[in-house]
């Protein structure tokens, strides 16, 4: 459990610093939005990193069970917080000039919803756990691509030259999907 606490502490510290520096110091996000916008980024960025640790051979079984529950909680918080920030002010690329959802906004929400369904329904939907986990990660990756690709291809627009969190999360999930198990 000592290793788990170290992973938790360092991950939350890293994601909090990364998101705060990227969005508040270099980006346009106001400090008043820290508790919804930035915490949302911290929660989901941490969850993705925790999924990486869960897939490796870093932790014993009790630590993995705790980490799974924490990941479930962070994803749940992400879904709730995302409903609060689903506005053109926060997510310009999700909306048309008339404030309807754009094609990419619709696609991102579709794959986010599909991932959430797989995540929430667990065994009752698809009994093969490995298949369910792969589909979940693929849907999350598609959610991230639809949400962020337009910013990924414009490094000159990256706040402070820092990689977008959607791109970092995508790369971590890509590593999990196609990489070998890590010790």
If one counts the domains in the chain, the total is: 1
Residue 117 falls within a domain, yes or no?
Answer: yes
Give pairs for 37-40: CB < 8 Å, separation 24+.
Answer: 37/85, 37/90, 39/81, 40/77, 40/78, 40/81, 40/82, 40/85
User: Rounded CA gap, 74 and 46, in Å?
Assistant: 8
Going from the first residue of the chain to its last (183 residues), give the mean pLDDT of each consecutive group of 10, the final group possibly shorter.
91 98 96 96 96 87 92 93 91 88 94 87 73 90 95 96 97 86 52
CATH number for the domain that contains residue 69: 1.20.120
Query: By the 8 A CB rule, do 122 and 135 touch?
Result: no
**pLDDT for res 84:** 93
User: Rounded CA gap, 139 and 167, in Å?
Assistant: 15
Residue 183 falls within a domain, yes or no?
Answer: no
**pLDDT for res 140:** 95
Give the range of the structural domain holding residue 49, as residue numbers without chain letter: 2-178
Which is nearest to 151 in space by CA: 8, 43, 17, 22?
A: 22
**pLDDT for res 99:** 80
**pLDDT for res 123:** 62
pTM of the model: 0.90
């Amino acid at each position: 459990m000592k290793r788990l606490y170290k992973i938790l502490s360092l991950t939350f510290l890293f994601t909090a610093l990364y998101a705060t520096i990227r969005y508040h110091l270099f980006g346009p996000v106001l400090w008043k939005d820290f508790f919804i916008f930035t915490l949302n980024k911290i929660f989901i960025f941490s969850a993705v990193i925790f999924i990486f640790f869960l897939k490796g051979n870093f932790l014993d079984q009790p630590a993995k069970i705790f980490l799974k529950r924490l990941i479930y909680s962070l994803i749940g918080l992400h879904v709730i917080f995302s409903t609060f920030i689903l506005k053109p002010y926060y997510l310009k690329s999700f909306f048309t000039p008339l404030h309807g959802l754009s094609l990419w906004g619709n696609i991102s929400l579709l794959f986010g919803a599909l991932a959430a369904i797989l995540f929430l329904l667990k065994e009752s939907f698809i009994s093969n756990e490995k298949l369910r986990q792969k589909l979940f990660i693929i849907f999350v990756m598609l959610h991230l691509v639809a949400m962020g690709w337009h910013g990924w291809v414009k490094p000159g627009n990256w706040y402070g030259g820092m990689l977008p969190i959607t791109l970092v999360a995508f790369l971590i999930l890509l590593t999990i999907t196609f990489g070998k198990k890590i010790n």
